[in-house]
Structure 1
């Protein structure tokens, strides 16, 4: 049984696919989870300065100590490294590598990891491959990083190339992403869903709008991939509906329209999301059409399907297996028509994702890891 050294996003908050998988793998192994070491260099803004300071001081938004245990699994040790975010020059890369190793190697020794596998979900961990006495290297690619807004694409491309060369096994979250990597060592690993969480009836959230008005809702990061113009048009057209948006705002300023029928409720713990998605009339995916969405496979799509509410969405490739079960609309006019058409529907979409649980995904990963 291999223990794991994981380079992922900051642990906690809205869990990523990496966190869903590793939390389950940790039931039978030790995990040292290294919080995000960055995908871009900071710019001249307060938010970036704050994030850069956190990385330089070894802090994260979720944990303010250098090392901690995950609340729900004592096998997971969370580490915040002091580092240089997304180093670009050879000198910066060398400095960042030495700095991180000086902090990480004593922790790995202290945790007494058994034949650990280095698992990276971030290309910027490439320079640490081969330096941690790991038995093998796994690259889990859940996003097309070259298409992500707000990252240093040149730096990430360079790091990803090195990581792919060093990886013994690559997991790709979508077919589009899989085509980027060597076929002989790449496995398709689509996103899963916590079927039990989203299928179990949940009480109605107290901060959902009250009254007789129907509700269309979205949860997820409020970032570059949302079509804010579409949302603005839609809320202006449908003044008899309420629109609820849930999730962390990743823009410098909130881009959602300030209207009486739109309610921004902020970020919510993942386990509370069914209290919202089970009780609104329609689930929304108002994405922009861009290269990032072309390659993505949104976790929330699977969760929406498990919640058994009608789904209205803009078009993107990952919808293909579910197109007969969602309403696709690429304009405000068509989206309004679709929302009104399905508002009283009671779909039975849960069986579509019944075999796609994170438990089954992690069992597959576990089998693959034991072959390394």
Structure 2
């Protein structure tokens, strides 16, 4: 049996395609991947035991969703942790001896501890403790995870700065881009999706999760101030109520769309936006969509997200507050052909440096070097 990499993720495989999906689909070229989601707690008639559901994945990427009947929780010997640990033992039996553990959520640190892994990787893609509804002990759990990890990767510069002194092997890998995928937005044969094709221009666009990280007050104010601008939001909502979303005739909420459809939506945007709020949840983010928008050469307007300012400030129009955001969009809409071409020429080398293929390859090299060092130390002892 070929030993697998087990990825423990707080994001579901069929959710918005993000960092875990990009990396696991590429690391699968080196070894089989078992992508383990957090348990789904629910009710199933006639079912009284927890079990593992196999979900659609990719070649060499198995997706497993633990399913736990709610009635089972907190009965004798059936705490959430006890149930998940027993189910994880079943996964370990399928993973081969001494698997590699790749962990996103510190809340699963106890699974990493029971795995008998030959290598543990913590990929800190977000400052999860800052998010709405985060467990009170999440910071403590992350320190536990870092203490047992062999390698720590971070999804952005701010995340790296917050962790570089807490572990001897911390490596910064800001999120990348699938260039071939998003360059479909430039293909004359790519047609705009039917649900936006008849909307008037200009169009402001956003794709990604709609949650507390977005500045909904700013979004509503922009839509009110410029009713002729159509604002298109593509993505599912999370951790917010429908009442949190501004409801105006020129704002369209389209819901989640397939990853395969995103280049066509990008093609329909006149300006790609990142209207993030400046709050605890956004202090450490490094939005994947920056490079995805850039790959389609859409002009980008963003609020002052620290990692965006630091890494892409010369390529993105930055705005602080309502008047500045409106002015930045207006400047993007006025962009002359020569100005656009000059921007594209500055974008190209940045895009070339941040492909997901290259990031996965460099991560794998670091992992191999650590495994070799560990083996060498073992042989010399």
Tell me the TM-score normalized by structure 2.
0.83
Q: d(CA) in 2 for partners of 1:71 and 1:79? A: 9
3-state SS of 1:179 partner: helix
Q: d(CA) in 1 for partners of 2:202 and 2:181? A: 24
Segments of 5+ residues of structure 1 without an aligned counterpart are 38-50, 59-63
1:229 matched to 2:217? The reply is yes
- For residues 82-120 of structure 1, what are the alpha-carbon distances to aligned partners after superposition, in whole Å with 9 as ceiling and x for unaligned? 4699xxx9x9999444322322223332x3525311111
Q: d(CA) in 1 for partners of 2:143 and 2:68? A: 21
Q: Report the RMSD for the aligned CA atoms in angstroms.
A: 2.8
Q: d(CA) in 2 for partners of 1:211 and 1:151? A: 38
Report the equivalent of 2:250. Answer: 261
Q: d(CA) in 2 for partners of 1:103 and 1:352? A: 43
Aligned length: 346
Q: 1:366 aligns with which of 364, 367, 371?
A: 364
Q: d(CA) in 2 for partners of 1:369 and 1:36? A: 25
- For residues 28-71 of structure 1, what are the alpha-carbon distances to aligned partners after superposition, in whole Å with 9 as ceiling and x for unaligned? 3111111125xxxxxxxxxxxxx64379x99xxxxx98332544
Report the equivalent of 2:378. Answer: none
Q: 2:140 aligns with which of 137, 147, 158?
A: 158
Report the equivalent of 2:232. Answer: 244
Q: 1:180 aligns with which of 142, 153, 162?
A: 162
Q: d(CA) in 2 for partners of 1:184 and 1:112? A: 28
Change (3 A) 1:93 1:172: farther
Q: How far does residue 124 in structure 1 lie from its aligned partner after superposition?
A: 0.7
Q: Which has the larger radius of gyration?
A: 2
Q: d(CA) in 1 for partners of 2:148 and 2:113? A: 8
Report the equivalent of 1:72. Answer: 58
Q: How far does residue 295 in structure 1 lie from its aligned partner after superposition?
A: 0.6
Change (3 A) 1:130 1:334: closer
1:7 matched to 2:8? The reply is yes
Deviates more, 1:348-357 or 1:282-291: 348-357
Asked if 2 retains the 8 angstrom alpha-carbon contact of 1:120 and 1:138, the reply is yes
- For residues 289-340 of structure 1, what are the alpha-carbon distances to aligned partners after superposition, in whole Å with 9 as ceiling and x for unaligned? 1122121101111111111011111111111221111111122222112111
Tell me the TM-score normalized by structure 1.
0.85
Q: d(CA) in 1 for partners of 2:231 and 2:77? A: 45
Change (3 A) 1:131 1:119: same
3-state SS of 1:273 partner: helix
Q: d(CA) in 2 for partners of 1:209 and 1:233? A: 25
Segments of 5+ residues of structure 2 without an aligned counterpart are 372-381
Asked if 1 retains the 8 angstrom alpha-carbon contact of 2:5 and 2:99, the reply is yes
Matches within 5 A, 1:126-205: 126-152=109-135, 154-181=136-163, 182-200=166-184, 201=187, 202-205=190-193
Report the equivalent of 1:122. Answer: 105
Q: d(CA) in 2 for partners of 1:273 and 1:14? A: 11
1:81 matched to 2:66? The reply is yes
3-state SS of 2:28 partner: helix
3-state SS of 2:194 partner: coil
1:108 matched to 2:92? The reply is yes
